Amino acid sequence: MDPLRTLSSKPPPPPGMPLWSLGFRPFFLGAALAAVLLMAGWLWMLAGGAAPPHYGAIGWHGHEMVFGYAVAVIAGFLLVGVRNWTGLPTPTGGRLAALFLLWLAGRLAPLAALPGPLVAALDLAFLPALMAALARPLSRGEPFPNRSILPLLGLLTLANALAHAEALGVVRGSLGPALGLGLMVLLIALVAGWAFPLFTGRALAGARAPLPPWRERAALGALGAWALGQAGLPDMVLGPLALAAAALHGARMGGWWRPGVGRVPLLWVLFGGYGWLVAGLALDGLARLGLVPPGAAVHALAAGALGTLTLGMMARVSLGHTGRPMVAAAPVVAAFALANLAALARLWAAFWPGAGMTVLAGGLWIAAFALFLWVYGPVWAGPGDGSG
């Protein structure tokens, strides 16, 4: 069964309530809004604005881009993907609204004058609630292509708890954000394994043979070891692991490549994002050998891989599940380009530090997601027959 096939026939959503008819709608909308507002808040803090209580500017920025923005994209993608693959419903209507409001509470809580433990509890409640929403269809429907989704969400919850504990001074260290980023990169790579061949096969004539299972196992195994190793493995181990994962995932991406990808914006943005993933892993390996600044790897993976891959996935999934043609509008293509330029500018700032390039990167990021929101806001909030 095609995990992202046309939606199965179900009763139409109540009039005036299309936003709550499928999980990707509110969560992609929330993610796009968060991408703009979180970056604007970060730039304001860089200019001297007050940081959120308990967390500090850098800690809040890093946490929210992974556990706020990226988690929202993953939630929207899984809620619709699991529904379509298993043939069983995921939350809609009031249940979906409650799940979304729980995610939103986690974003707003750090900005309020609330006790630190309450802020952490509100944020930590979302991923277990998402897991509960997915558990029933995953356990009763057709087998999902990757059974590690729920365990990975559980590990992300633990990484988030560690990040909060470190920020509040309960434990020492700064492993939580690094572990969260590593696990998110692994989760994105798992999703790419079945989304890339599907999207490429649909956009370009013909289909390629699947990658050899040993290559998939090697690539994901190396990446998984690297991701989990963020919890405390020494650089002398993580460095070679990162370089091996970069080589294996470069080969993986090459196996998906088809002539003509560069002519289809909805494809090249995904391949570009995966290229950032490969580059980020390579930079991480080099950074652990003392050859490049550590910030270069972090921002290649966060701004580059997560930023552009999630942008492309939201664009493609939203068109497919609202009955619209699989063509990126000109402003969306511009958004894809701006997101990549933002990642390049942030990478430049890692090698040659300076506030000007960091601000430029933030401005490009905001412009990219503002354009995307302008085009896709009506898609998410409107009817699903392509007329909205």
Q: What is the pLDDT of residue 334?
A: 98
In a domain, 12, yes or no: no
Q: What value does the mean pLDDT take over residues 72-83?
A: 94
Query: How many Cβ atoms are within 10 Å of 253's Cβ, its own excluded?
Result: 18
pLDDT tens for residues 145-162?
Answer: 667 889 999 999 999 999
Does 16 score more than 70 pLDDT? no
d(CA 155, CA 132): 15
Residue 11 domain flag: no
Instruction: Give the confidence band of 53 by pLDDT, cuts at 50, 70, 90.
Output: confident
In degrees and rounded to multiples of 5, residue 223 shows phi and psi of -65, -40
Is 79 within 8 Å of 91 (Cβ atoms)?
Answer: yes
pLDDT above 90 (res 382): no
User: Does residue 10 sit within a domain?
Assistant: no
* Cα–Cα distance, 226 to 228 (Å, whole number): 6
HEC sequence for 136-184: HHHHHCCCCCCCCHHHHHHHHHHHHHHHHHHHCCCCCCCHHHHHHHHHH
The whole-model pTM stands at 0.92
pLDDT at 288: 96
Domain-embedded: residue 200: yes
Q: Report the percentage of the chain scoring pLDDT > 70.
A: 92
Q: Which domain holds residue 116?
A: 18-381
370 falls within a domain: yes
C-alpha of 348 from chain center? 22
Residue 3, in any domain of the structure: no
* Cα torsion angle, 185, 189, 191, 196, sign: positive
Q: For residue 344, is pLDDT > 90?
A: yes
Q: How far apart (Å, rounded) are the C-alpha atoms in residues 231 and 329? A: 41
- Give the three-state DSSP class for 91: coil
* Phi-psi category of residue 173: left, alpha or beta, with phi > 0 → left and psi -120 to 50 → alpha: left
Q: Three-class SS of residue 282?
A: helix
For residue 9, the model assigns a pLDDT of 36
Stretch among 205-214, 319-328, 371-380 having the lowest mean pLDDT? 205-214
Domain count, the chain: 1
The answer to whether position 5 is within a domain reads no
CB count in 10 Å sphere of residue 209: 7
Confidence of residue 76 (pLDDT cuts 50, 70, 90): very high
Q: How many residues does the chain have?
A: 388
pLDDT > 90? residue 218: yes
Question: What are 6-12's contacts with CB under 8 Å, separation 24+?
Answer: 6/320, 6/323, 7/84, 7/321, 7/384, 8/84, 8/87, 10/89
CA distance 64 to 103: 11
We report the CATH number of the domain holding residue 165 as: 1.20.210.10
pLDDT at 7: 36
Q: Between vectors from CA 27 to CA 22 and to CA 30, what angle results, nearest 5°?
A: 140
DSSP code, position 208: P
What is 357-379 written as a DSSP string? HHHHHHHHHHHHHHHHHHHHHHH
For the stretch 172-181, pLDDT in tens is 877 899 999 9
